[in-house]
Amino acid sequence: MGKGVKLWQKVMPMPEKTQPSHILDRPIQYLPGVGPKRARLLKRLGVYTVEDLLYLLPRKYLDRRFIKRIRDLKEGEEATVMGRIFTKGRRKLRTREAFTVVIADQTEWMELTFFTTKGFDRIFRVGDIVIASGKVYRYRGVKVMYHPDWEILTPDQDKPRKAGRIIPIYPATEGLKPAGIESLIRTALELAEPELQDRVPAWIRKKRGLLSRLQALRMLHAPRILREAELARKALAYEEFFLFQLKLRLKRMEYEGHGIAFDLTRKAYSRQFLKSLPFELTEAQKRVIREIEQDVTQERPMHRLLQGDVGSGKTVVALYAMLLAVDQGLQAALMAPTELLAEQHFLVLREFLHPIGLEPTLLTGRQSRKERAESLEAIESGKAKIIVGTHALIQEGVHFKNLGLAVVDEQHRFGVLQRARLLEKGIRTPHFLVMTATPIPRTLAMTAYGDLDVSYLDEKPAGRQEVKTFWRTLRERDKVYRWLFEKVLQGEQAYVVAPLIEKSEALQVQSAQELFQELLRQAPDGVRIGLIHGRIRKEERQRLMEAFREGVFQILVATTVIEVGIDVPNATLMVIEHAERFGLSQLHQLRGRIGRGEKPSYCILLTPEEVTEDAEKRLKTLVETTDGFRIAEVDLQIRGPGEILGKEQHGFRGFRIGNLMKDASLILKVRKDVEELLSKDRYLVRPEHRVLREYLLREEEREGEVYVG
């Protein structure tokens, strides 16, 4: 358990045994009406407990308060109608069979069409009265609703069950209808009502005009008007963001006063490093360096997120920060999520450090026993000043002599508990820098990294060229490669990227090995081609990358192993085969390998004629912009925050109610309110914060280290 958590708990210690919540924490299968079978279906929707069920957000609402006359229906509107069935039956369409019910009221008739025929003949009977809700279309001049939500009025009903009110429509899963979910939520609300106390303090709710938790949950699931549903969603979204931000802020309190203040009059290596660079730093790099220097002179450890677009110079800034630690007689470590990234960072750092007489140390799981033993001894003795590694750095048996600064690359690929373990390797809490080559949208950064200050490298080094990107189909493939060969014969160099190393029976895509062989056959005399991928031994990969940079090869066929690598300023061309199989940020990252010199650069995306809607959006975005932050926003829309942050992000299962795009202004308010709360009541001991404190203590008891941001 972290230092700060113990401190604020000591002020009001946890009772010997916290009383378990009777209803909210109960596994969903024990809710009346659920049972094991329904519980399995609900788990598909992310519902594991009764509280999860109460926070299941309706995907839309049907306003059935007003029944319209069929004659008054307008094409394109969502409406509810009521009519008597006067005919029904199956009919053949061009590609499938449909079942159609024709209804009429006192004004006109219309069709209800379903693209399934199973059981409908028995369900709908001529003479029945049907209430139907859906979007109105016209087909051959006839008004029609396709797959409407419907209800048949039985003779003994005095009024419709669904009409006359707003109906919440929940996410569906096979075997569990939205109406069944609505019924279970009513049961859960009734049983859980005594436990639905407000975790957001009353003074904050009053300040922000928020409903109470109980009011919000009632209105979310049974709004009388649509505005109530939005007010409920806003209150519950605020609650989610508030609790998440508060946990992150409490985690940051753990480190206050436990760090190492650097003396910046001692800057031998860091000053030498800047002098040795063959280029001028950008203004953005200088600004971020000043922010880092200001942080590391404090006893409170630096916790900073370094964001920047591809090629903006993050590595130079991070290495400068590491050398500030070395200047203090301390060690600095860089942790990367994969062996390949660690090895590539090691190569880049080794090149930068050579002129100032330092050699980095590498520690990964794939090293030989002898190499690993040597690395471990150098780390423990303090001989290793700059250490690069994978999660091997946080394993048992790795002992730093005096770790002063930790850098984590591509944080979203790590669980944050792993990050915490790295920080615990220091005698005192090391300064900490997250470096990401995938810009995270600002709203997401503020939310998920609420315990970090954020620095932006929003400027490219002088002389860098914009990369022009084109999307071509496989029909034009031969033409693309003829153009590529012409360019390399004129002295330029090219990457050709494939999604796989070897041929796959399951996927109809060309592998790197197949491409390499094909290009060898097609290439004109004088064009030299290399092949690099993750299964080639580390030493051989290093040799191949060096050879490509020195011009031994004009074309390098590769997998995503080149996402991070040695700069090759003469590499101006890239062809990405089956680009539809790559994620947007990955494509942007790959494209960043070119455009690093002063010549115009071109990236060609090759795909089949037909691609999915999401793939089309990714490819069009890449063609239209090279702005990494714009690309990150689109990526967030397509994939959602959980995918971008990574499933291991502890405490971030994805928000159930809040929407990071829609609620950006709400997130800013939450941050201010959390700061105000902790400035008034740092340890949450006031009576008005009792419910909130008890919630946090229960979370700590249930989850262990929850305050890890």
Instruction: Kindly state whether residues 247 and 287 are assigned to the same domain.
Output: no
Helix (H) or strand (E) holding 146: strand 142-146
Whether residue 462 is contained in a domain is answered as no
pLDDT one-digit tens code per residue, 653-676: 568 898 877 787 888 899 899 999
User: Does residue 532 lie in a domain region?
Assistant: yes
Type and span of the H or E element at 317:
helix 314-327
Q: Which domain holds residue 207?
A: 3-60+173-254
User: Reduced to 3 states, what is the DSSP secondary structure of residue 345?
Assistant: helix
Of 18-27, 197-206, 396-405, 452-461, where does the model show the most confidence?
A: 197-206
How much is the pLDDT for 664?
77
Residue 681 in domain: no
Residue 14: band (very low, low, confident or very high) from pLDDT cuts 50, 70, 90: very low
Say yes or no: 55 and 141 in one domain.
Answer: no
Q: How far apart are CA 588 and CA 570, in angstroms?
A: 19
Assess if residue 104 is contained within a domain: yes
**Domain match, 494 and 350 both:** no
CA–CA separation, 628 and 588 (whole Å): 7
Do 78 and 117 belong to one domain?
yes
Q: Does residue 375 sit in the same domain as residue 294?
A: yes
Higher pLDDT, 154 or 618: 618
Please state the φ and ψ torsions of residue 498, each to the nearest 5 degrees: -120, 150
Residues 280 and 429 grouped into a single domain: yes
Strand locations in 329-466 (E): 331-335, 361-363, 386-389, 403-409, 431-436, 453-457
The model's confidence at residue 534, banded by pLDDT at 50, 70 and 90, is confident
pLDDT at 358 over 90: yes
What percentage of residues in the chain have a pLDDT greater than 70? 84
Tell me: do 500 and 416 sit in the same domain. Answer: no
pLDDT tens by residue, 389-448: 988 888 878 889 999 999 988 654 454 555 666 767 767 788 989 887 666 666 666 665
388 plus 303 within the same structural domain: yes
Classify residue 368: in a domain, yes or no.
Answer: yes
153/142 Cα distance (integer angstroms): 24
Domain count for the chain: 4
Same domain, 285 and 207: no
Q: Is 122 exposed, middle or buried (0-12, 13-18, 19+ CB in 10 A)?
A: exposed
Same domain, 54 and 95: no
Alpha helix (H) ranges present in 107-162?
120-123
- Domain boundary (601, 625, 649) is at 625
The H or E element that residue 290 is part of is helix 283-296
Same domain? 44 vs 90: no
Q: Which amino acid does the sequence have at 569?
A: P
Answer yes or no: is 698 within a domain: no
Instruction: Kindly report the CATH number assigned to the domain that includes residue 91.
Output: 2.40.50.140
In this structure, is residue 650 part of a structural domain?
Answer: no
Query: Which residues, at least 6 apart from 75, have a Cβ–Cβ distance to it below 8 Å?
Result: 136, 137, 138, 143
- The answer to which of 216-225, 283-292, 309-318 has the lowest mean pLDDT is 309-318
Where b means 16+ CB within 10 Å and e means fewer, 544-558 reads bbeebbeeebbbbbb
**Least confident among 25-29, 42-46, 415-419:** 415-419
- CATH code, domain with 336: 3.40.50.300
Instruction: Report which DSSP code applies to 173.
Output: B
Q: Taking 80 as the threshold, does the pLDDT of residue 285 lie above it?
A: yes
pLDDT of amino acid 235? 96
Judge whether 39 lies within some domain: yes
Pick from 284-288, 365-369, 436-440, 474-478: least confident: 436-440
User: Could you say which of 164, 187, 219 is where a domain stops?
Assistant: 164
Q: Are residues 525 and 599 in the same domain?
A: yes
Among residues 457, 476, 498, which one ends one of the domains?
A: 457
pTM (2 decimals)? Answer: 0.67
